[in-house]
A = this chain, B = another copy of it.
Amino acid sequence: MDEVETGREPTSPNGREPTLSKERPPTSPKGQEPTLSDVARRAGVSVATASRALSVRGPASASARHRVLTAARELDYVPNPVARALATRSGTRIAVAVGGRTSHVLNDPYVARVTTATAAAAGGVGVSLHWLPLHDPAELGRLAENRDLGGVIVVNPTVPALATIPRSARGRIASIGIGTRDVPSFDVDNATGTTKVIEHLLATGRRRIAMITGPQWLPCTERALTAYHRALADAGTPPRLVAGDFTAATGESATTEIMTRWPDTDAIFALGDLSALGALSALRRNGVDVPGDVAVAGFDDIAYAALSHPGLTTTTNPVEAITTAAATALLHHQPTPPQTFYPTTLILRAST
């Protein structure tokens, strides 16, 4: 599990040095954190100018900006997010919203990774968790509209849900999954990841390769499906598809279905390690040898993939890096490319 690189490092609660009372210029009252007016005073400008200079967008002369910036650095100034939120009516926390049929999706370890990484990346700003019911796409629109929120990271959104987002929410929402013109997408490159897995299976002699997909309604896995189809077409073998929902339970049932419908299947690729582990269980229960009779591969490289028996061949999913990028984009109001894909790495273990 040390393979999981999160980039989380120890940080001061809000980015400032925790009251270490080191050489604090006498500009500010004793013990107090410096405020914007301290900075303004020291720079010899008004708070308004200081505010503009610090929030890159506002108009300000180069010289003023420079003086404010140095003053801020000298004072070790960090803007108070609470005050800023009150003034802008924008909220201090960032919401993680997850689409799914039931609120159980919040239990998914994948969601835990996203939440944790967001909390780490937000470094100070808080995080809250929300379930987006599949049957009520407008919930996302409401969340996006909520000015109490600093932003929202939506995981596994659907097209109808994205459609409910007002244009005004632009820049306040990022997607881990599909995006739109207004919602930048940060996603794992599951097309290439899938291709790598299938090619590996083909290279090791497998020909009758089944795939356990994510839920039908989940659009962000379509690229993986396309890649699967293409790879199989190139090899001249027909697809064998069963839908799952990333849980171990559906991994098991899907496997049973696969082995019933296509008894000669010699490889199973599950779009999610939990499902792959479920497949492993189901096969073992039925006395099918892995990888002798059937090879199994997953996606995500969760910690337990290395612990199963046999160890699970899988593909990394840099969730933490993806989440960090999404959170950073929101928090810094950075101009963001509409779509960013993160590369994966094939991890070979004993199951293939």
Query: Which residues of A from 147 to 179 have beta carbons under 8 Å from B?
Result: 148-149
Does residue A324 face the partner (Cβ distance < 8 Å to B)? no
> Which residues of the partner chain B approach A125 to less than 8 Å between Cβ atoms?
93, 126, 128
CB pair A112–B116 under 8 Å, yes or no, is yes
Stretch from A208-216, A276-284, A333-341 contacting the other chain = A276-284
CB pair B128–A119 under 8 Å, yes or no, is yes
CB pair A307–B278 under 8 Å, yes or no, is yes
Does residue A288 face the partner (Cβ distance < 8 Å to B)? no
When C-beta atoms are compared, the residue in chain B nearest to A142 turns out to be B18
CB pair B145–A19 under 8 Å, yes or no, is yes
Assess A8 versus B116: contact at CB under 8 Å? Given A13-B146, A142-B19: no
> Which residues of the partner chain B approach A307 to less than 8 Å between Cβ atoms?
248, 274, 277-278, 280-281, 304, 308
Query: Which residues of A from 6 to 25 have beta carbons under 8 Å from B?
Result: 6, 8-11, 13-14, 18-19
CB pair B115–A119 under 8 Å, yes or no, is yes
CB pair A126–B131 under 8 Å, yes or no, is no
> Which residues of the partner chain B approach A11 to less than 8 Å between Cβ atoms?
130
When C-beta atoms are compared, the residue in chain B nearest to A2 turns out to be B104
A185 CB to nearest B CB, Å: 22
Does residue A56 face the partner (Cβ distance < 8 Å to B)? no
CB pair B278–A103 under 8 Å, yes or no, is no
* Contacts A18-B143, A93-B93, A93-B125 known; 7 new A-B pairs at CB < 8 A: A10-B133, A18-B146, A93-B124, A115-B116, A116-B129, A122-B126, A126-B128
Task: List A residues at the B interface (Cβ < 8 Å).
Answer: 1-2, 4, 6, 8-11, 13-14, 18-19, 80, 82-83, 85-86, 91-96, 103-104, 106-109, 111-113, 115-116, 119-120, 122-131, 133, 139, 142-143, 145-146, 148-149, 247-249, 274, 277-278, 280-281, 284, 303-304, 306-309
